[in-house]
Amino acid sequence: MEKIKNIPTKIYISEEELPKKWYNLRADMKEKHDPFLNPETLEEVTKEDLTKVFCEELIEQELNQTDPYIDIPQGILDFYKMYRPSPLVRAYYLERYLDTPAEIYYKFEGNNTSGSHKLNSAVAQAYYAKKQGLTHLTTETGAGQWGTALAMACAFFGLDLDVFMVKVSSEQKPFRKELMRTYGARVTPSPSNKTNAGRAILKANPGTGGSLGCAISEAIEVATHNKNSRYVLGSVLDYVALHQSVIGIETQIALDKYGITPDIIIGCAGGGSNLSGLIAPFMGDKIKGKNDIRFIAVEPKSCPSLTRGKYAYDFGDAGKTTPLMRMYTLGCGFMPAPNHAGGLRYHGMSPLISKLYHDGYMEAIAVSQNEVFDYAVKFARTEGILPAPESAHAIYAAVQEALKCKEKKEKKVIVLGLTGTGYFDMTAYKQFNDKKLVNYDPIDEDLEKGFATIPDIPQNR
């Protein structure tokens, strides 16, 4: 307990220290990831291909491989000030519970009403849409964190929003849907009768609970049929990683301020939005030879894109409507089991994270959901915060590293990304509390079905 008196539990940075620029990690990467391809021509996607679907300034950011720093506009900084800096907290009580010599820090992104880090990019995307004179946005949401964040941002900037929510999620999480409605968004369970894509899927599979892939197809269709509308996405893309770099920059500022040098940085990995943001400036330094930090991506065993996927060109959605991206993938037709970490149920991984992993800059592990919830509850009871199931993957991995430190009597500094809160995941916690939570760990045969949906194109270009 002595240390608590010496070092603040929360490591503050002041409002004046808030980052004024995002960090574009890709600009500092020695090798860039492969370009997106037009699935029809197999040629590199051009800016023109993208303007019907995406906002112009976001496309500029997506294609920018040269500028390491990009100014954050004042309108976005003002919004960030409503909920940032997010706390960086020393997990004293968890350390004490584990009796480890390791120091564990968590960067907590759940202290805003949307409950997760997704808001960092949602506000940026809504801002640029407004600036471009658009009046309407569309998106898809699975677990609902991204949809909620975008609903908040659109309410603030006065934009209409259509959210296509995976039907089974909208039924399992009626309160998530209600939160988006409270922020003025129209939420449509997908597949719906509103789009050709939805109607076709409903005709083929009348009772389907939907999928993220189907919801993406519907959202893109609505956006491209309205000249004042665009489609926005909360993960996978490089511009999302750019916006999320605010997490890592704040973390680095705070650690530097207190003279703390991380040995290991850990984040959960679904589409890579949080992980890429958290590690960005540290990874940039590693590439430049300035540190030797271990980076660990943690994914669920039920959706193990990095640990068991193939590094290949694949579609971003099940409907096969997006450009092709070279990434670690389980196949665009892979159907993940109903693991409760809805934010980690994506068949692919951001091309940026995929490339870093492929080139050996980071590690990845996959874990089962019962062990994850076990430490989610222990974390809640010691540190006071109820973590999202997604975030709890990072907690679990951090605990494993801290226990290794205990065994080896080593004092390592571990930083983990705590992406959000679990308020809308109480059904999952109830199953765990009732000891009825099931692990979904696919065998090779399960994965083969997904791999068969990876398009058969020349992979090495």
Q: Give 154 or 197: the residue with its C-beta nearer to its own copies.
A: 154
- Other Cβ atoms within 10 Å of 178 Cβ, number: 10
Which of 62, 317, 383, 401 contacts its own copies by CB under 8 A?
A: 383
Among the residue ranges 65-73, 346-354, 384-392, 447-455, the one whose residues contact its own copies (CB under 8 A):
384-392
Among the residue ranges 244-252, 353-361, 374-382, 404-412, the one whose residues contact its own copies (CB under 8 A):
374-382
Report residue 323 as tokens.
Answer: 């450009």
* Cross-strand partners of 16: none
Q: Give 39 or 184: the residue with its C-beta nearer to its own copies.
A: 184
User: 262-301: which residues touch its own copies (CB under 8 A)?
Assistant: none
Scan for tokens 């670690």, then name that residue: 328
Q: Is 155 in the site for its own copies (CB under 8 A)?
A: yes
Residue partners of 421: CB distance under 8 A and separation at least 6: 110, 115, 116, 385, 386, 387, 388
Which of 54, 156, 311, 346 contacts its own copies by CB under 8 A?
A: 156
| Residue 288 per-residue DSSP state | T
Which of 2, 15, 31, 407 contacts its own copies by CB under 8 A?
A: 15
Q: Is 338 in the site for its own copies (CB under 8 A)?
A: no
Q: Give 113 or 208: the residue with its C-beta nearer to its own copies.
A: 113
For 452, the 3-state DSSP assignment is: coil
Alpha carbons 252 and 443: distance in angstroms, whole number: 39
For 36, the 3-state DSSP assignment is: coil
Report residue 192 as tokens.
Answer: 């719906």
Residue 386 Cβ, how far from its own copies at the closest point, in Å? Answer: 5
Alpha carbons 375 and 397: distance in angstroms, whole number: 10
Q: Give 78 or 448: the residue with its C-beta nearer to its own copies.
A: 78
# chain residues binding its own copies, by CB under 8 A: 45
Farthest-apart Cα atoms in the chain, separation: 65
Residue 186 Cβ, how far from its own copies at the closest point, in Å? Answer: 11
Site string for its own copies, 72-111 (x = CB under 8 A): ------x--xxx-----x---x-----------------x
The one-letter amino acid at 87: P
C-alpha separations of 364 from 292, 340, 354, 357, 397 in Å: 16, 20, 11, 8, 10
Residue 109 Cβ, how far from its own copies at the closest point, in Å? Answer: 13
Report residue 37 as tokens.
Answer: 């391809």
Residue 14 Cβ, how far from its own copies at the closest point, in Å? Answer: 7
Residue 285 Cβ, how far from its own copies at the closest point, in Å? Answer: 29
User: 178-197: which residues touch its own copies (CB under 8 A)?
Assistant: 178-179, 181-184
Residue 113 Cβ, how far from its own copies at the closest point, in Å? Answer: 5
69-71 and 21-23 strand pairing = antiparallel
Check: CB of residue 87 under 8 Å from CB of residue 111.
yes
Q: Burial, 201: exposed, middle or buried (Cβ in 10 Å; 0-12, 13-18, 19+)?
A: buried
Check: CB of residue 86 under 8 Å from CB of residue 385.
no
Residue 13 Cβ, how far from its own copies at the closest point, in Å? Answer: 10
The one-letter amino acid at 364: A
Helix %, strand %, coil % of the chain (to 5): 45, 15, 40
Q: Is 426 in the site for its own copies (CB under 8 A)?
A: yes
Q: Give 313 or 429: the residue with its C-beta nearer to its own copies.
A: 429
Among the residue ranges 32-40, 136-144, 314-322, 419-427, the one whose residues contact its own copies (CB under 8 A):
419-427
Q: Is 2 in the site for its own copies (CB under 8 A)?
A: no
Which of 32, 42, 52, 175 contacts its own copies by CB under 8 A?
A: 175
Q: Which helix (H) or strand (E) holds 307?
A: helix 305-308
Q: Is 9 in the site for its own copies (CB under 8 A)?
A: yes
* Cross-strand partners of 229: 136
Site string for its own copies, 201-220 (x = CB under 8 A): --------------------
Alpha carbons 233 and 236: distance in angstroms, whole number: 8
Binding site for its own copies (CB under 8 A): 1, 4, 8-10, 12, 14-15, 78, 81-83, 89, 93, 111-113, 115, 152, 155-156, 174-175, 178-179, 181-184, 377, 380-386, 421, 423-424, 426-427, 429-430, 433
